[in-house]
Structure 1
Amino acid sequence: MKQIFVNLKRFDVAKRLGGICPMDNPREWIEWVMDESVKYGLGKLQDIQVTYLLPEALLISAIEKLAEYAEDETKNIHIGCQGVFRQNIAPGGNFGAFTTNLPAAAAKSIGCTWSIIGHSEERRDKLQIIGEFEPACNDSNVLGEKAANAVHGLINEEVLCALDSGIDVLLCIGETADEKGEGSFEEQKPRIQAVLKSQLEIGLKGVQEKLDERQIVIGYEPIWAIGPGKTPPDGEYIAFVSEYIKWVVKELYDFYPVVVYGGGLKEENAGMISKIESIGGGLVALTKFTQPIAFEPEGLRNIIQKYVD
């Protein structure tokens, strides 16, 4: 089963308010997205699962809209959240002191079956917070490494909370330009491996016994290549990284994960990505990158067609 994830970030805010939702009512927009997804047959694709990762405000509307259709029309469409809190709700535990956060138990009760965790933006924000409250963490490479490991530890707590609540996880990892460093690709390889191994070693700690019922997919984000004007990695680079991810997870935790390309699956690169044997899908954010930028289910269908052709 190939995995296609769609991370719809600020589609819970209308364009006139600074977001990117084309409708003034974002809930009506996500209902339209679900209708169109069913119309284009995304729920009936053979051997392809489509998972929408949504802001909390849009989750219930999306889940309720899909429930209006017959199961055979939506069986391969899943709804997930954009992260869970590092603490959770459980019988006999704290049930309410998470006012500004989304506990995994709450996401599950809404109907989420997936969560994206460790997205590059989330890692960056956590690192910035640690640096603001502990300025010494920014003073040397050693302390910087400690701060990064602290972020990996927070990510791990979120992963475990999601799995414990019955939610599957898309765990994102990747290297920045500074972490990759200068020089030839051969010179960069050991630095890339060290960064990814650290994120995986800490981020996946304690997951083995939970994998009989749950699954973890690894999303590889080449952070250095994401954004306007950046040059994306070629197939050789992506193959090297994805093969290493599979190998190191097997060495550390004795399972082979599905690895998807998280640098942005598009019509332009879907064919190339699909030919990399160690890649099992991709992460989509938008389907239209010229102004006005947009996400449209028809565009997603076109990306998937390019991927499977």
Structure 2
Amino acid sequence: MRPKIAAGNWKMNGTAASLAELHSLAMGLPENPPQVVICPPSTLLFRATNATHGSPIQIGAQDCHAEDAGAYTGDISASMVADSGATHVILGHSERRDAHRETDADVQAKTRAAWAAGLTAIVCIGESEAQRDADQTLDIIGGQLDGSLPEAVDAENTVIAYEPIWAIGTGKVPSIAQIKEVHDFIRTRLISRFGADIGNALPLLYGGSVKATNAVEIFAVENVDGALVGGASLKAKDFVPIVAALAQS
């Protein structure tokens, strides 16, 4: 059985005062919660791992460099992320692909670096609104999967997150049929490439304006194993109901 995962991406939000939300989240988790991963800014990684010590919450970074060390001002390596106590790292988020022009090859190199450091890579894929309107969604998703995932993928080192770019932070949510179509396609593609054992074991998360009001319906979709949540993960009062909905799915 695949793990259920509720991941929160704080993006460029949060200071030391925000760590109190982690305590509130830990206190509000349901009994037998799913796997919970919070990804704060890199400035908070070490303090976040300390703040969640002894709780079910794991901490992840929002990016890492493909190289382990070197003259890369402003970047952090996967080994630095691991050294902070974090266990996961988000890679290939649409905001990185767009604003920083990251390619599938870049994401694949970073994924290898994450694995080498003992981190679980949360690899993001997703289409733009123009690509959706042009009926290119599955072609885009398939290409990103092929280019972003190294051959040594398994359920221990990788999580896939489908985030339709046009739904991130916009309040727009694909129909249940659209979510199911893409997640079923991803599952089939993974099985075709990596075999049934690995392809069926890899967790698939949905991301894109997930809220307490739509979480139950989304988590009922076959091949949706959890969510990668943005704004609604910043406050425990907003994220706890999403985690609870996943626990009950």
Same fold (TM over 0.5): yes
Superposition map of 1:118-267 within 5 A: 118-127=92-101, 151-182=103-134, 188=135, 191-208=136-153, 211=154, 214-228=156-170, 231-254=172-195, 255-256=198-199, 257-267=202-212
Q: What's the CA shift string for 1:187-210, capped at 9, x where partnerless?
A: x2xx222111110101012334xx
Select which of 226, 245, 248 maps to 1:306. 245
Secondary structure class of the residue paired with 1:200: helix
Following the alignment from structure 2 to structure 1, what is the Cα–Cα distance between the partners of residues 211 and 146? 30
Following the alignment from structure 1 to structure 2, what is the Cα–Cα distance between the partners of residues 8 and 41? 18
Secondary structure class of the residue paired with 2:60: strand
Select which of 67, 71, 84 maps to 1:110. 84
State the shift of 1:227 in Å: 3.7
Change (3 A) 1:299 1:227: closer
Q: What's the CA shift string for 1:216-274, capped at 9, x where partnerless?
A: 1111111123343x531111110010010011012123322211111132112101111
Report the TM-score when normalising by structure 1. Answer: 0.73
Secondary structure class of the residue paired with 1:60: helix
Task: Give the corresponding residue for 1:8.
Answer: 10
Q: Is the 8 A contact 1:84 1:104 kept in 2?
A: yes
Select which of 28, 47, 51 maps to 2:17. 28
Q: Is the 8 A contact 1:176 1:223 kept in 2?
A: yes
State the shift of 1:49 in Å: 0.7
Secondary structure class of the residue paired with 1:97: coil
Corresponding letter in the other structure for 2:110: E
Q: Is the 8 A contact 1:172 1:262 kept in 2?
A: no
Following the alignment from structure 2 to structure 1, what is the Cα–Cα distance between the partners of residues 238 and 230? 11
Task: Give the corresponding residue for 1:97.
Answer: 71
Aligned-CA RMSD value: 1.9
Q: Is the 8 A contact 1:220 1:260 kept in 2?
A: yes
Report the TM-score when normalising by structure 2. Answer: 0.90
Larger radius of gyration: 1
Q: Is the 8 A contact 1:116 1:172 kept in 2?
A: yes
Following the alignment from structure 1 to structure 2, what is the Cα–Cα distance between the partners of residues 232 and 264? 6
Following the alignment from structure 2 to structure 1, what is the Cα–Cα distance between the partners of residues 131 and 25? 38
Q: What's the CA shift string for 1:82-111, capped at 9, x where partnerless?
A: 01102124xxxxxx4233211001111111
Task: Give the corresponding residue for 1:64.
Answer: 50
State the shift of 1:66 in Å: 2.1
Q: Is the 8 A contact 2:169 2:208 kept in 1?
A: no
Task: Give the corresponding residue for 2:65.
Answer: 85
Task: Give the corresponding residue for 1:39.
Answer: 27
Task: Give the corresponding residue for 1:283.
Answer: 228
Secondary structure class of the residue paired with 2:75: coil
Q: Is the 8 A contact 1:222 1:262 kept in 2?
A: yes
Unaligned runs of at least 5 residues, structure 1 = 13-25, 90-95, 128-149, 183-187, 288-293
Unaligned runs of at least 5 residues, structure 2 = none
Which has the bigger relative contact order, CA under 8 A and spacing at least 6?
2
Following the alignment from structure 1 to structure 2, what is the Cα–Cα distance between the partners of residues 282 and 240? 16
State the shift of 1:299 in Å: 2.0
Corresponding letter in the other structure for 2:141: L
Following the alignment from structure 1 to structure 2, what is the Cα–Cα distance between the partners of residues 300 and 194? 32
Corresponding letter in the other structure for 1:269: N
Following the alignment from structure 1 to structure 2, what is the Cα–Cα distance between the partners of residues 227 and 262? 10
Q: How many residues align?
A: 242
Following the alignment from structure 1 to structure 2, what is the Cα–Cα distance between the partners of residues 160 and 120? 19
Following the alignment from structure 2 to structure 1, what is the Cα–Cα distance between the partners of residues 84 and 137? 38
Q: Is the 8 A contact 1:59 1:110 kept in 2?
A: yes
